[in-house]
A and B are shown apart, each in its own frame.
Chain A
Amino acid sequence: QLQLQESGPGLVKPSETLSLTCTVSGGSISSSSYYWGWIRQPPGERLEWIGSLSRSGSTYYNPSLKSRVTISVDTSKNQFSLKMSSVTAADTAVYYCARLRWQGGYYFDYWGQGTLVTVSS
């Protein structure tokens, strides 16, 4: 059974960089059939796609966040990571990592449990 687990600091100071890692178990992140990505949910707000990583290593980002976001992969550890720079209180959210099915567009078929990141001094 595929499992994803987010890890990283739960508290980040304004203007600093948020860093999260997603560890995948029960399957290979190098699988040719799937993409991997990050979604967040600010308190009381809707889910927001942050970005995705294809099996070839190509990255795709939400245009509203693109200037501040980097997604990378470490296949040796079966992990992928999110970095978001210059964070503000508006970036406070539960952050989820997920597996994506690419079929001309993508939806999310496995999710991590999520991790709350609070931006505060």
Chain B
Amino acid sequence: DIVMTQSPDSLAVSLGERATINCKSSRSVLDSSNNKNYLAWYRQKPGQPPKLLIYWASTRESGVPDRFSGSGSGTDFTLTISSLQAEDVAVYYCQQYYTTPTFGQGTKVEIK
């Protein structure tokens, strides 16, 4: 299995400030035949199921605000929330789908 490791485990950010979450895979999730990274990001608010934010490492799901962006390639990826809103308090997960799907351990985002 590909092991996904997120950092930090938690972070506190002021409203309107930038939040950055990192995700590292134990091996590359880049398919060189199509140049696509098989990496998705989710947000899980308290008491709710995860919600898809980004797939192919940087493609926003329909309806997801543009303050969310994904970047990276190969084994190192980043989710950035450009201006943190109160409704962004949640746990964020990365997931690779290059092989048997696996998830990161989650990063908890709180308001400072």
Question: With contacts A46-B103, A46-B106, A104-B38 known, is A109 near B61, CB below 8 A?
Answer: yes
Answer yes or no: A96 CB below 8 A from chain B CBs: yes
Q: Answer whether residue A26 sits at the interface, using C-beta atoms and an 8 A cutoff.
A: no
Total number of B residues with any Cβ neighbor in A under 8 Å: 26
* Docked pose: A101 CA to B38 CA in angstroms: 12
- By CB atoms of chain B within 10 A, which of A101, A108, A112 has the most? A108
- Cα distance, A46 to B100, chains bound together (Å): 15
Residue of A nearest to B102 (CB): A49
Give the contacting residue for A112; candidates B49, B52, B95, B97; CB below 8 A: B49
**Is there a chain A Cβ closer than 8 Å to B55's Cβ?**
yes
8 tightest Cβ-Cβ pairs between the two chains A and B: A105-B97, A111-B49, A107-B40, A47-B103, A49-B101, A105-B38, A46-B105, A109-B52
By a beta-carbon cutoff of 8 Å, the part of chain B in contact with chain A is 31, 34, 36, 38, 40, 42, 48-52, 55, 61, 93, 95-106
A-B contact pairs, 29 of them (CB 8 A): A46-B93, A46-B103, A46-B105, A46-B106, A47-B93, A47-B95, A47-B103, A49-B100, A49-B101, A96-B49, A104-B31, A104-B34, A104-B36, A105-B38, A105-B98, A105-B101, A107-B40, A107-B52, A107-B55, A107-B95, A107-B97, A107-B101, A108-B40, A108-B42, A108-B52, A108-B95, A109-B61, A112-B49, A113-B48
A residues near B (Cβ < 8 Å) are 46-49, 62-63, 96, 98, 101, 104-109, 111-114
